[in-house]
Chain A
Amino acid sequence: MLTSKRLILAHFWLAFIVFGAALVLGAWQMFVRSPLNAWHFNPEFYYRSVTAHGSAMGYVFPTLIAMGFGYAITEASFEKALIGRRWAWTGFFLVAVGAVVAMIPVSLGLASVLYTFYPPMVGNPFYYIGVVMVVVGSWIWVALMVINFVIWKRENPGKPVPLAMYANVAGCLLWGWTAVGAALEILFLILPVALGFKSTIDAGLARVFFSWSLHAIVYFWLIPTYIAYYTIFPRAIGGRLYSDAMARISFILFVVVAMPIGVHHLFADPQVGAGFKFMHSVFTGLVALPTLLTVFTICASAEIASRLRGGRGAFGWIGALPWSNPIMLATALSLVMLGFGGAGGLINMSYQLDATVHNTQWITGHFHLIFGGAIVIMYFAIAYDLWPHLTDRALDSFGLMRTQLWLWFIGMIVTTFPWHYVGILGMPRRMAYYDYANPAISPQAFSVTMSAIGGFILLLSGLLFLLVLIRGQFGARGEAGAYRFAVPLHMPARIPVALNSFGLWLALMVGLTVVNYGFPIAQLMALNETSVPAVYVGAGR
């Protein structure tokens, strides 16, 4: 039973409003940099927009989704009210105010440094302060989830923590630790310079700190999606979860190995030794493991649902799935995008292949396909599934939902496939415009135009999504009943303590961080001569 409905709804609405605004910016960017636009414009507007789009989509939107969904999971799976609701509101307002504080200098063009910061370029301090406020707000959520988890376990000794909550806490712990890297970078390297206490910064060290956050943040974005795969999808299509234990192991693997792999973003950087690059590459390989396990479990769960409905044959069961159900459709489309995106990810993780695509449009295509595609489409599904429980009103525009999901999928494919392709052709990323008239670049023009069209399809889909939610707010009143999660095929009566707690996994997470990051960070910190003068941006005239 959900009792903190206003709290959860506030998180989701703010998340989707931010998402809508950032989506408009994204579509505009796709347009202005494409051959459809005669690029006679100030490039600064483009970088300003990229900074806003990236910060909103990377820091604010998924964080609010994870927080709102986390509160919903706590109340639904523990079947009791959230402990610390007032603190939860504090966290929410910190994120909201932080987002505004960050966006003011960005919209004034005082912090066009992109959401990945890029020191020694340094922008207006309020941009970084705003980002820190967002992170601190989310840390309140992390603390609340852990507190609720611990108290429930104390009240229910020996009982397995419901899978949804176990996974939710896994995501919290991962985020709590992952955000530390970027927080260290901002608090100890960037902010002292932005505030004028210092004028030099070690760009190499800053990049290492950022890599600590940069990759695992993707898994933080991903975890609500995986929770939806495991605990919403099988129930929504009338089936069972194939395996509870394997689900837990997948989330545990994310906690342990999602973090000590970030240096694969620095394969081409000169400040990290080759040996540590290799170690991070090995662990990057391991992080494919939970995804492979998940794909199996979800497909097997779908098969169970289908056979319960009378599906037959080796592949015939696929046709018997409830395809008109938006959750079914969203999950299937999500898995397809995850498959393509994951294949691309395997290429990025190898440093030989990475050299071909590093910092090209391929990378942008890759993370839009994984995050914007596979992950965000499940955020839609989560919202569709939760909405009647939050609003106590029916959400029944199923046709519109299916159209929206298909448009999102098509838009994402049309956007990202050509994007990958021009990356292979060597088109660098993060540029405001390209001279398509030049014969060396002109072969890329068609693909970029395709991507821009895909961007508009995505915008249309995003607007439809908001329309569905708004209609849901004014639908017919109706009690949606208790919110339930999928039940495993074989419910274990008792589970090993390792799969019901996090102590061991936290120890391994921190331990691996020390092993994989300790030395590179320590030796760069000891190096004084590589602190270089800051380059202040937006301080012209």
Chain B
Amino acid sequence: MSDQPLFSPRNPWFGISVGVTAAIAVLSAVAGLIWLPLAQPNLKLASVWDAICSAAGVPRAAVQEAAVKPDFKTSNVVMTSEMLTKVDQVSIGRGATLAQRCAICHGPQGVSDAHSPNLAGQFAAVTYKELNDFKTGARVSVVMSPFAAAMSDQDMKDVAAYYAYLPRVPSNNLDTGRAAPAVVVTGAPLRNIPPCGSCHGDIDNKAGSPWLGGQSAVYIKAQLEAFASGTRRNDISQQMRNIARQMTAEEIDQVAHYYEAQP
């Protein structure tokens, strides 16, 4: 028997193993691809061929039913992790010129004490997204909206690139010894509050989340309250409202003062 060629129909090992394997494969394919899907009434299959296709996983685009439209402007920015991460010197140069008109509030070096956000060293994607949202009306500000309305897409990218290029300057309230409040370090898991740093850059960065170190406490507090109350809604799919509305007034206060004291 051992002298018999292996790959020969006369070798029982060959015949039986191939036959059994093929039988199991065919039976499980028939059961999985035809019998089981047809036994499910909720799939509403048109034919056996439809059953096979759906069970084999042939994809289809989701059926578009009439969606409930929003009664407010939502952000139309498409955020990705790599957005505006490449340094472009020409863009920075153009941005420097354009940014002169921003200096009154945001400071000539992107830093000011006027409770308007410090932009020096801010992630370019963040500055770009907020300008865009001011322009489309997804975010509203008496001061910013008119500025943004006059800017082209490229203008916004240039200004964003320029501010990203400027070095972060420690604020006057710098206090690196300040203990981080619990809500910053660990968040509050069951209230759906992750650690701030998991998005805002101290640990990792989620695209579109700003660097918070050195920002005015007044500004941070105002934004968190606006997210919590729903007066600010340009965070895509409620990603920040979900967190802010779960925070207590005391936590908002702690976070604002903690980040103001950070570099």
Direct contact of A and B (CB under 8 A): yes
Contacts of B3 in A (CB 8 A): 497
B24 in contact with A275 (CB, 8 Å): no
A36 interface contact, C-beta 8 A: no
Q: A508-B21, A539-B204 are in contact. List 20 more A-B contacts (CB 8 A).
A: A42-B195, A43-B203, A272-B57, A273-B56, A275-B55, A276-B32, A279-B25, A282-B32, A497-B5, A498-B11, A498-B13, A499-B13, A504-B18, A515-B25, A515-B29, A519-B56, A519-B57, A534-B81, A538-B204, A541-B211
A496: contacting residue among B1, B55, B203, CB under 8 A: B1
**Could you tell me the distance in whole angstroms from the C-beta of A252 to the nearest C-beta in chain B?**
8
Digitize B54-73: 1 where CB-to-A-CB distance is under 8 Å, 0 elsewhere.
11111100000000000000
A494 in contact with B59 (CB, 8 Å): no
- Residues B81-130 near A (CB distance < 8 A): 81-82
How far apart sit A535 and B198, CA to CA, in the bound complex (Å)? 13
B48 interface contact, C-beta 8 A: no
A319 interface contact, C-beta 8 A: no
A41 interface contact, C-beta 8 A: yes
B42 interface contact, C-beta 8 A: no
Select the stretch in B147-155, B185-193, B247-255 that faces chain A: B185-193
How far apart sit A283 and B31, CA to CA, in the bound complex (Å)? 13
Digitize A514-541: 1 where CB-to-B-CB distance is under 8 Å, 0 elsewhere.
0110011001000100100111111111
A473 interface contact, C-beta 8 A: no
- Residues A121-174 near B (CB distance < 8 A): 158
Nearest residue (CB) in A for B79 is A533
**Could you tell me the distance in whole angstroms from the C-beta of B97 to the nearest C-beta in chain A?**
27
B2 in contact with A497 (CB, 8 Å): yes
Given contacts A275-B32, A495-B2, contact A441 B58 (CB under 8 A): no
A282 in contact with B28 (CB, 8 Å): yes
B6 interface contact, C-beta 8 A: yes
A-side interface size class: 35 or more
Contacts of B6 in A (CB 8 A): 497-498, 501, 503-504
Contacts of B11 in A (CB 8 A): 497-498
A279: contacting residue among B29, B52, B54, CB under 8 A: B29
Given contacts A41-B186, A274-B32, contact A540 B17 (CB under 8 A): no
B55: contacting residue among A274, A441, A498, A501, CB under 8 A: A274
Select the stretch in A366-374, A431-439, A444-452 that faces chain B: A431-439
Digitize A100-134: 1 where CB-to-B-CB distance is under 8 Å, 0 elsewhere.
00000000000000000000000000000000000
B81: contacting residue among A44, A256, A499, A536, CB under 8 A: A536
Q: Pick 18 A–B contacts, CB within 8 A, sort by A.
A: A39-B186, A40-B185, A42-B185, A42-B195, A42-B197, A44-B204, A199-B81, A274-B36, A274-B57, A275-B32, A275-B55, A276-B56, A433-B189, A515-B29, A523-B57, A536-B81, A539-B81, A541-B205
Digitize A465-507: 1 where CB-to-B-CB distance is under 8 Å, 0 elsewhere.
0000000000000000000000000000011111111011100
A314 interface contact, C-beta 8 A: no
Given contacts A39-B186, A43-B195, A279-B29, contact A533 B82 (CB under 8 A): yes
Contacts of A515 in B (CB 8 A): 25, 29
Contacts of A276 in B (CB 8 A): 32, 55-57
- Residues B10-27 near A (CB distance < 8 A): 11, 13-14, 17-18, 21, 24-25
B182 interface contact, C-beta 8 A: yes
Nearest residue (CB) in A for B205 is A540
Contacts of B141 in A (CB 8 A): none
Digitize A364-403: 1 where CB-to-B-CB distance is under 8 Å, 0 elsewhere.
0000000000000000000000000000000000000000
A271 interface contact, C-beta 8 A: yes
Contacts of A536 in B (CB 8 A): 81-82
B82 in contact with A199 (CB, 8 Å): yes
Nearest residue (CB) in A for B182 is A40
B186 in contact with A275 (CB, 8 Å): no
A286 interface contact, C-beta 8 A: yes
- Residues B163-211 near A (CB distance < 8 A): 182, 185-186, 188-190, 195, 197-198, 201-205, 207, 211
Contacts of A512 in B (CB 8 A): 21, 25
A533 in contact with B32 (CB, 8 Å): no
B237 interface contact, C-beta 8 A: no
B47 interface contact, C-beta 8 A: no
Contacts of A516 in B (CB 8 A): 25
Given contacts A42-B203, A279-B25, A533-B81, contact A498 B17 (CB under 8 A): yes
B190 in contact with A435 (CB, 8 Å): yes
B56 in contact with A504 (CB, 8 Å): no
Given contacts A199-B82, A275-B52, A541-B205, contact A497 B25 (CB under 8 A): no
B214 interface contact, C-beta 8 A: no
B189: contacting residue among A42, A282, A434, A508, CB under 8 A: A434
Contacts of B207 in A (CB 8 A): 535
How far apart sit A39 and B59, CA to CA, in the bound complex (Å)? 44
Nearest residue (CB) in B for A45 is B203
A277 interface contact, C-beta 8 A: yes
Given contacts A43-B198, A504-B17, A541-B205, contact A275 B82 (CB under 8 A): no
B1 in contact with A256 (CB, 8 Å): no
Nearest residue (CB) in B for A208 is B57
Given contacts A286-B24, A533-B82, A535-B81, contact A438 B190 (CB under 8 A): yes
Contacts of A274 in B (CB 8 A): 32, 36-37, 54-55, 57
**Could you tell me the distance in whole angstroms from the C-beta of B6 to the nearest C-beta in chain A?**
5
Contacts of A282 in B (CB 8 A): 24, 28, 31-32
Given contacts A276-B56, A279-B29, contact A433 B24 (CB under 8 A): no
Contacts of B59 in A (CB 8 A): 271, 523, 527, 530
Contacts of B52 in A (CB 8 A): 275
**Could you tell me the distance in whole angstroms from the C-beta of A3 to the nearest C-beta in chain B?**
31
How far apart sit A530 and B57, CA to CA, in the bound complex (Å)? 14
How far apart sit A207 and B164, CA to CA, in the bound complex (Å)? 36
**Could you tell me the distance in whole angstroms from the C-beta of B84 to the nearest C-beta in chain A?**
12
Given contacts A523-B57, A534-B81, contact A278 B201 (CB under 8 A): no
Contacts of B204 in A (CB 8 A): 44, 537-540
B159 interface contact, C-beta 8 A: no
B138 interface contact, C-beta 8 A: no
**Could you tell me the distance in whole angstroms from the C-beta of A71 to the nearest C-beta in chain B?**
28
